[in-house]
Amino acid sequence: MKIADVLRTKGSAVATVEPRTLVGELLAGLAEHNVGAMVVLGPDGIAGIVSERDVVRRLHERGAELLSAPVSEIMTKLVFSCAPQDTVDSLTVQMTERRIRHVPVLDDGRLVGIVSIGDVVKSHISQLEDSRDQLQAYIAQG
């Protein structure tokens, strides 16, 4: 299965923020969109990605004053991305090895979606269910 198949099922909407967005505003956006991470878009494209985990770790270090800091201070700047033609299996390996949970999908440098670890797991479960159904049909035909 390709990443493009996952995006066809889940949609291509991506929650984004700007680097100057305040962390408090980021938290409101995460809650509003019911997501665990947002892509940070600058004038030249993807500037980073910021997740709930980034906020929690920095909040522990800096306290409540973090809420008035810009997202650019806590975002991950080196962003791993994938392409629509990549396979879910190859992305699963990369997400596991890199210990990341959200991967932006780029097509010719343009942001076309985002895939989470939940999307990957859902895809694997769907594939297993399809295989099970095929085996049951094969057995039933005798």
* 15-69 confidence digits (pLDDT tens): 999 999 999 999 999 999 999 999 999 999 999 999 999 999 999 999 999 999 9
Locate 109 and state its tokens.
């440098």
Contacts with 106 (C-beta within 8 Å, 6 or more apart), sequence order:
46, 81, 82, 83, 112
What is the bridge-based pairing of β-strands 16-17 and 45-51? unpaired
Domain count, the chain: 1
87, β-bridge pairs: 2
pLDDT at residue 136 in the model: 82
pLDDT at residue 121 in the model: 86
Which structural domain, as residue segments, surrounds residue 132? 3-141
pLDDT at residue 129 in the model: 77
User: How far apart, in whole angstroms, are the C-alpha atoms of residue 40 and residue 75?
Assistant: 8
> Contact, 53 vs 67, CB < 8 A?
no
> Contact, 20 vs 71, CB < 8 A?
yes
Q: What is the DSSP string of 42-110?
A: ETTEEEEEEEHHHHHHHHHHHGGGGGGSBGGGTSBSS---B-TTSBHHHHHHHHHHHT-SEEEEEETTE
* Average pLDDT over the chain, rounded to an integer: 93
Whole-model pTM?
A: 0.86
Residues 89-103 pLDDT 10s = 999 999 999 999 999
Res. 133: pLDDT tops 80:
no
Here the CATH number for the domain that contains residue 123 is 3.10.580.10
